[in-house]
Amino acid sequence: MNPDISRERENASFNLEILTNILDGGAEKTRRRREIESLVISDPDFQHEDLNFLSRSERYDAAVRKSAQMILKLREYGISDPEEIYSYKSCVHRGRPEPLDLHLGMFLPTLLNQSSPAQLEAFFMPAWNLEIIGTYAQTEMGHGTHIRGLETTATYDPSTQEFVLNSPTISSIKWWPGGLGKTSNHAIVLAQLYTQGKCHGLHAFITPIRCMKTHMPLPGVVVGDIGPKFGFDEVDNGYLKLENVRIPRENMLMKYAKVEPDGTYVKPPSDKLTYGTMVFIRSMIVGESARALSKSCTIAIRYSAVRHQSELRPGEPEPQILDYQAQQYKLFPLLATAYAFHFVGQYMSKTYHRISGDINQGDFSELPELHALSAGLKAFTTWVANAGIEVCRMSCGGHGYSRCSSLPDIYVTFTPTCTYEGENTVMMLQTARYLVKSYKQARAGQQLTGIVSYLNEPQSRIQPHSVSSRPTVVNINDLASLVEAYKFRAAKLVEMAAKNLQAELQHSKSNEDAWNNNSIDLVRASDAHCHYVVVKLFAAKLSEIGDTAVHSVLSTLALLYALHGVALSSGDFLQAGLLTVPQLAQISQRLKGLLSELRPNAVALVDAFDYRDEMLNSTLGRYDGNVYEHMFEWAKRSPLNHTEVHESHHKYLKPLRSKL
Amino acid sequence: MNPDISRERENASFNLEILTNILDGGAEKTRRRREIESLVISDPDFQHEDLNFLSRSERYDAAVRKSAQMILKLREYGISDPEEIYSYKSCVHRGRPEPLDLHLGMFLPTLLNQSSPAQLEAFFMPAWNLEIIGTYAQTEMGHGTHIRGLETTATYDPSTQEFVLNSPTISSIKWWPGGLGKTSNHAIVLAQLYTQGKCHGLHAFITPIRCMKTHMPLPGVVVGDIGPKFGFDEVDNGYLKLENVRIPRENMLMKYAKVEPDGTYVKPPSDKLTYGTMVFIRSMIVGESARALSKSCTIAIRYSAVRHQSELRPGEPEPQILDYQAQQYKLFPLLATAYAFHFVGQYMSKTYHRISGDINQGDFSELPELHALSAGLKAFTTWVANAGIEVCRMSCGGHGYSRCSSLPDIYVTFTPTCTYEGENTVMMLQTARYLVKSYKQARAGQQLTGIVSYLNEPQSRIQPHSVSSRPTVVNINDLASLVEAYKFRAAKLVEMAAKNLQAELQHSKSNEDAWNNNSIDLVRASDAHCHYVVVKLFAAKLSEIGDTAVHSVLSTLALLYALHGVALSSGDFLQAGLLTVPQLAQISQRLKGLLSELRPNAVALVDAFDYRDEMLNSTLGRYDGNVYEHMFEWAKRSPLNHTEVHESHHKYLKPLRSKL
């Protein structure tokens, strides 16, 4: 054990295990998580060389091998709880996506939720037993988030009782679905349904794409891998072009909408039924933001504790880089953010489960709010985490660029969350739509409930005031007061956006133009709303914590999170009259103080995330701090070192001498 | 040609060629650049498959092949001007680094500049003819930017008149030098010189590391590749561990410092002699920031002109995504930034060449200012460009994640500039040191000259005022007034940092502690200083431009750049009393107006950067806008598509069926 990092641990002011239990959601959950991790990590079937040393084809091969093993073992151990399956899978693939993700996470659940009883009978068991391996083919080359624009067609032919599937344009080729390129023999294809000469919008069709015996593409199916990406090397994201592919009528998923044998279309009873999945996945992504950021902080903070560099005082030994204020200022606000997002993730997951009970009962009343919240928080947390990972990476100096740090892998694995499951800017604008609507309702005298209830308050309709004539509301040392300030800022920005929208309507040709011409303000309002929610939930979490020492350190983190956000957006708070100019300087000083307060607990706070070395897979982030030795050992295994002399020397460089 | 993108070009309000000439630094330079590009791009020896389809070893192999060809052709064509060599090399390797970079860019120049005549005689021609292939081995595992901390030792042994080189610790292993792992047979090793029992600090030693005949590592030399990184796949960044490696006394570079045969050390006449190279490289990086960002903007803006998505008005065709205000707000400020950085790059290059004449005459008077400026601007521009590339990538939706967009490659190739040649935060603090020193000189009554002369002005020593009691200085529609505002903001933040430093000295144990405890303020002051310089240089460039139409569109860009920066840091401007709260809302509205004004010229403004398709290598950024067809063609060539059925199907998935 590196002595620097041992010393850090001795200095911690709180009991690690208590905090880990809080993060896991209880001691029993911690125990079970560790049990599953041990099960996977000690399993010789899941050992493998560093994936960064392999070619793309080898990486895909290794991932398929492990996924196949995983299916067997999950059944052998009888692990069937979805959260536990997710845990097990994360361990097997060390947090990376894998080729069967869409089979397990989308194909099977969609079959379960949208099949008629006859379809369940026909398809579910073969899919459960991986005779049928499926994916969910929604996104096309030309359309992603805006799914109504999808172009693939499924035209019903009553003469044979078949649907004829086609990709009528280049841009209609299915593009991106995971596992589509090489792995799957079936796809649930989202297509515009045409029957009796009329288009009925998007419906889902179980489409065989490869032969069950030979795995060769079926006639009319052009399928393949979309090529290398920024990360996701283990996944065969694929393309699918359909040319008059005929499937039986029974292959349209018919639990809700139906097409009768004669081609008569039967509408689904409600269009909100598929809404829930989207909300669920976006809520899950908030948790992913927390995980990606907490892993990155773990690596960067542990490394900063063992890395010594430069001189603070002439003649003295080089200090740990964690002692530099500039380094603390990069990392500690991100550490606070990681904690904030963990708690927001817990809240979202809890809220989803609470509301999904209602949804199953046909009560959709809370869904719009949850939908708006999950869209905004998905965008807010992924953007922040995305940038934060890179700050962590760059805070490790040159070694952060090495694949052995794991930081490049964390980044490329995480960054797609900013785009998939709803492009972030589009998500922010969806949340803005809900906020503006709520604001108008409040102005019209309606009493709002839930998270937007702050728009009821008269303070939200702030008139322009000079700074001096309004009392300053913020007490910069009081978290509750800061939560209020975030609330008023959000209210102010929602109001500004709504008013600008109103004003724009005087000049614009249409509502839609006015909306577009105010997108900047609308995104800003959503962002402020989400920021308020995060600060509020962090503060609320503190009240649940009984342990004094843990409460104290988390309070410091929460204050840092809140004040750092005020400093970054100080213009907003000044503009809203929530802050005075002299307070800005006080905040700067207070922030420096908070960095010093957190310094002794920094390593313990990342230890509490409890990532095993095998999960972090980072030489810089090792628990024992023995960074350099392991970096050297890792480098020696690099494929370019398999021979002492690379063949290019003999092919190109040696012959060059005689030519010059 | 895609009709959307043709229409964009028809709408341009200015003559493209005039702007391209301005960016190149004259019509003749544009002509010659294009000539060199054609020479390379039409050369069958430089054709190659997309590197993203190759394994790391194949990529290295392909790069060595092209570099060897390049050496032959440069000599064949008689291209010898350094700028033209750089151009040619960039074309051959499409902007990527290559294995001979350090041989050409560091090893040969260092030999030229620091060898004694006898050493030149012995080493230069063999190196010129690539019998000796060398690298520059400075960075170690434990030390990068702080070079005084390097640990490698070179101990003089007068009995044999040799230096004995050693890597005494794990952290002293040379780590990162390009071309060190596999390519080079020599390295200029930076080591602490010990002679007659005394350490004389860092000196440079020509060290053979591989056999000139077999290319095998020499005795005592442990050398290899440091393993896969975030990008730089073509380069064998290497490690070098030296175990009692003996080299002749004549291998220490002895133009300045010397070790006599008996071991007597002779000091160099000045320690500023190697200072210039550092300044030169950092100035060059400013230009790299401009290039990386302008390439990214070209790709994102062209793609946004051909991509149609979503609905603005129900029933109407999907709009170009460039018509969305939110998309414009992401891309146009970055476009303006790319232009700003191009002009700053031109200024830095011109200033360097002007001053380097003086330096060669022994006049170092302007060097400290240039050193501070190049350090700060290197950090400022690389950070902004680094984040900007990712904004461009994510503005392309899902397809930005595909390697065929080229955006991931631009990012991973560029991001190391934030760390190499001086870690950015360290650079910002170096600039801050110069600013604080200058501020103190001004307060002591000294008249400052050059770029920091604004610290002379009494306004810089602003006392706290309430907003109402000071006249507002900013006219938000006037660039000159905005330049002034940036200047006062910088002056204010330098003053605040200097005062906080003074105050901190009351509590701190030492100057060094006080410095560290104010790093946040110091970095912020440097950042504001650099921002001021960029705005000022952009404004200054406008006055050189005669063509009315070009002047007009560049003025719009400059105003956008300046106002967008004010909006992002509005707290600073409010705090300094340079802006009133009502003006903030005016700025928001003005920004929206500027986005609309630029919209018709957006594609022309990126066309003016004049990147050939072969250089961009991006399906999304194609000049003809035929994005989707080429994306499909590209994907089909993906290595995973070389067979219809991947072997993993037979190995793992098919056997699974019988086990479940």
pLDDT band with cut points at 50, 70 and 90 for residue B463: very low
Contact B226 A635 (CB under 8 A): yes
In this complex, which of B519, B577, B645 lies closest to A216 when CB atoms are compared? B645
For tokens 């280049």, what's the residue? A170
What residues pair up with B195 in beta bridges, in sequence order?
Answer: B198
pLDDT band with cut points at 50, 70 and 90 for residue A145: confident
Assess A658–B contact: CB distance below 8 Å, yes or no: no
> Residue A182 CA to chain centroid, in angstroms?
25
Residues 6+ apart with CB under 8 A from B418: A394, B379, B382, B383, B386, B424
Å from A266 to nearest chain B CA? 25
Residue B308 tokens read as 């149609």
Q: Suggest the residue from A638, A642, A657, A658 to mutate for an interface test with chain B (most B CBs closer than 10 A).
A: A638
So what's the pLDDT on residue B464?
42
Do strands B198-208 and B186-195 pair parallel, antiparallel, or not at all (unpaired)?
antiparallel
Element (H, E) at B403: none
Contact B575 A581 (CB under 8 A): yes
What residues pair up with B164 in beta bridges, in sequence order?
Answer: B155, B246
Rounded to the nearest integer, the mean pLDDT of chain B is: 94
Residue A417 tokens read as 């969350």
DSSP labels for B246-306?
A: EEEGGGB--SSSEE-TT--EE--S-S-TTHHHHHHHHHHHHHHHHHHHHHHHHHHHHHHHH
| 3-state DSSP assignment of residue B153 | strand
Taking CA–CA distances from A652, the nearest residue in chain B reads B65
Contact A170 B628 (CB under 8 A): yes
So what's the pLDDT on residue A355?
86
In this complex, which of A65, A387, A394 lies closest to B652 when CB atoms are compared? A65
Percentage of residues in chain B with pLDDT exceeding 90?
87
Do strands A198-208 and B221-225 pair parallel, antiparallel, or not at all (unpaired)?
unpaired
B135-140 mean pLDDT: 97
Residues 125 through 144 of chain A touching chain B, CB cutoff 8 Å: 128-131, 133, 139, 141-144
Q: What is the DSSP letter of A540?
A: H
Q: Is residue B467 predicted with pLDDT exceeding 70? A: no
Taking CA–CA distances from B214, the nearest residue in chain A reads A645
B3-14 mean pLDDT: 97
Q: What is the pLDDT of residues A201-250, one digit of tens each?
A: 999 999 999 999 999 999 999 999 999 999 999 999 999 999 999 999 99
Q: What is the pLDDT of residues B504-519, one digit of tens each?
A: 998 877 899 999 999 9
So what's the pLDDT on residue A316?
85
Q: Residue A637: list chain B partners with CB under 8 A.
A: 227
Element (H, E) at B186: strand B186-195
Q: Residue A464: list chain B partners with CB under 8 A.
A: 581-582
Integer-rounded Cα Rg, in Å, for chain A is 27
Q: What is the pLDDT of residues B184-193, one digit of tens each?
A: 999 999 999 9
ipTM field? 0.97
So what's the pLDDT on residue B458?
63
Among residues B180, B178, B184, B193, the alpha carbon closest in space to that of B252 is found at: B193
Pick the catalytic residue: B98, B151, B288, B421? Answer: B421
In this complex, which of B131, B311, B426 lies closest to A657 when CB atoms are compared? B131
So what's the pLDDT on residue B473?
67
Å from A164 to nearest chain B CA? 23
Lowest-pLDDT choice from A614-618, B406-410, B470-474, B498-502: B470-474
Assess A625–B contact: CB distance below 8 Å, yes or no: no
Q: What is the pLDDT of residues A178-210, one digit of tens each?
A: 999 999 999 999 999 999 999 999 999 999 999
Q: Suggest the residue from A653, A654, A659 to mutate for an interface test with chain B (most B CBs closer than 10 A).
A: A653
DSSP labels for A280-308?
A: HHHHHHHHHHHHHHHHHHHHHHHHHHH-B
In this complex, which of A227, A420, A640 lies closest to B634 when CB atoms are compared? A227
Assess A472–B contact: CB distance below 8 Å, yes or no: no
Residues 261 through 290 of chain A touching chain B, CB cutoff 8 Å: none
B270-280 mean pLDDT: 74
Q: What are residue B150's phi and psi, to 5 degrees?
A: -60, 145
Q: What is the pLDDT of residues B551-590, one digit of tens each?
A: 999 999 999 999 999 999 999 999 999 999 999 999 999 9
For tokens 């690298």, what's the residue? B135
Taking CA–CA distances from A501, the nearest residue in chain B reads B589
Q: Is residue A503 predicted with pLDDT exceeding 50? A: yes
Contact B398 A139 (CB under 8 A): yes
Q: Is residue A142 predicted with pLDDT exceeding 50? A: yes
Contact A224 B401 (CB under 8 A): no
Q: What are residue B174's phi and psi, to 5 degrees?
A: -65, 135
Q: Where are the domains of chain A?
A: 1-16+279-457+479-644, 133-268
Contact B402 A226 (CB under 8 A): yes
Q: Suggest the residue from A60, A182, A324 to mutate for an interface test with chain B (most B CBs closer than 10 A).
A: A182
Estimate the share of chain B in helix, then strand, then coil, as percent rounded to the nearest 5: 60, 10, 30
So what's the pLDDT on residue A472?
58
- How long, in residues, is chain B? 660
Is the backbone of residue A465 left (phi > 0), alpha (psi -120 to 50) or beta? Answer: beta
Q: What is the pLDDT of residues B591-603, one digit of tens each?
A: 999 999 999 999 9
Element (H, E) at A186: strand A186-195
Q: What is the pLDDT of residues A604-613, one digit of tens each?
A: 999 999 999 9
Say if residue B395 is exposed, middle or buried (CB neighbours under 10 Å; 0-12, 13-18, 19+): buried
Assess B243–A contact: CB distance below 8 Å, yes or no: no
Contact A401 B419 (CB under 8 A): yes
Contact B638 A226 (CB under 8 A): yes
Q: Is residue A83 predicted with pLDDT exceeding 90? A: no
Residues 382 through 401 of chain A touching chain B, CB cutoff 8 Å: 386-387, 390, 393-394, 397-398, 400-401
Spatial separation of the C-alpha atoms in residues B146 and A38, rounded to whole Å:
41
Residues 6+ apart with CB under 8 A from A589: none
Q: What is the pLDDT of residues A517-551, one digit of tens each?
A: 999 999 999 999 999 999 999 999 999 999 999 99
| 3-state DSSP assignment of residue A580 | coil
Spatial separation of the C-alpha atoms in residues B190 and B589, rounded to whole Å:
56
Element (H, E) at B595: helix B581-598
Lowest-pLDDT choice from A5-9, A48-52, A553-557: A48-52
Please compute, for residue B236, the number of CA atoms within 13 A of its CA located in the half-sphere on the CB side: 34
Do strands A198-208 and A186-195 pair parallel, antiparallel, or not at all (unpaired)?
antiparallel
B459-471 mean pLDDT: 44
pLDDT band with cut points at 50, 70 and 90 for residue A356: confident
Which residue numbers of B belong to the known binding site for FAD? 139, 178
Q: Residue A592: list chain B partners with CB under 8 A.
A: 517, 520
Contact B660 A129 (CB under 8 A): yes
Say if residue B449 is exposed, middle or buried (CB neighbours under 10 Å; 0-12, 13-18, 19+): exposed
Angle between helices A325-360 and A581-598 (to 10 degrees): 90
Contact A403 B230 (CB under 8 A): yes
Do strands A134-137 and A221-225 pair parallel, antiparallel, or not at all (unpaired)?
unpaired
A8-27 mean pLDDT: 97
Sign of CA dihedral A536, A538, A544, A545: negative
For tokens 């405890």, what's the residue? B517
What residues pair up with B202 in beta bridges, in sequence order?
Answer: B192
Residues 448 through 467 of chain A touching chain B, CB cutoff 8 Å: 464, 466-467
Element (H, E) at A499: helix A479-507
Residue A2 tokens read as 């590196």
Residues 6+ apart with CB under 8 A from A9: A603, A604, A607
Is the CATH number of domain A133-268 3.20.19.10? no
Spatial separation of the C-alpha atoms in residues A315 and B238, rounded to whole Å:
31
Contact B141 A635 (CB under 8 A): no
Q: Is residue A460 predicted with pLDDT exceeding 50? A: no
Assess B147–A contact: CB distance below 8 Å, yes or no: no
> Residue A119 CA to chain centroid, in angstroms?
33
So what's the pLDDT on residue B95?
93
Contact A227 B637 (CB under 8 A): yes
pLDDT band with cut points at 50, 70 and 90 for residue A269: confident
Q: Please say whether the beta carbons of A114 and A256 come within 8 A.
A: yes
Please compute, for residue B408, the number of CA atoms within 13 A of its CA located in the half-sphere on the CB side: 26
Spatial separation of the C-alpha atoms in residues B181 and A454, rounded to whole Å:
61
Contact B182 A645 (CB under 8 A): yes
Spatial separation of the C-alpha atoms in residues B292 and B615, rounded to whole Å:
12
Q: What is the DSSP letter of A132?
A: S
For tokens 């650099």, what's the residue? B530
In this complex, which of B324, B416, B635 lies closest to A401 when CB atoms are compared? B416
Assess B544–A contact: CB distance below 8 Å, yes or no: no
Question: Among 1.20.140.10, 1.25.40.10, 3.90.550.10, 1.10.10.10, what is the CATH number of B1-16+279-457+479-644?
Answer: 1.20.140.10
B266-292 mean pLDDT: 86
So what's the pLDDT on residue A458?
63
Pick the catalytic residue: A8, A37, A98, A421? Answer: A421
Taking CA–CA distances from A235, the nearest residue in chain B reads B640
So what's the pLDDT on residue A473?
66
Look up B288 and say whether it is catalytic. Answer: no
pLDDT band with cut points at 50, 70 and 90 for residue A508: confident
Alpha helix stretches (DSSP H) within B322-478: 325-360, 367-394, 407-414, 424-443
Assess B591–A contact: CB distance below 8 Å, yes or no: yes
Q: Residue A146: list chain B partners with CB under 8 A.
A: 309-311, 318
Contact B139 A398 (CB under 8 A): yes
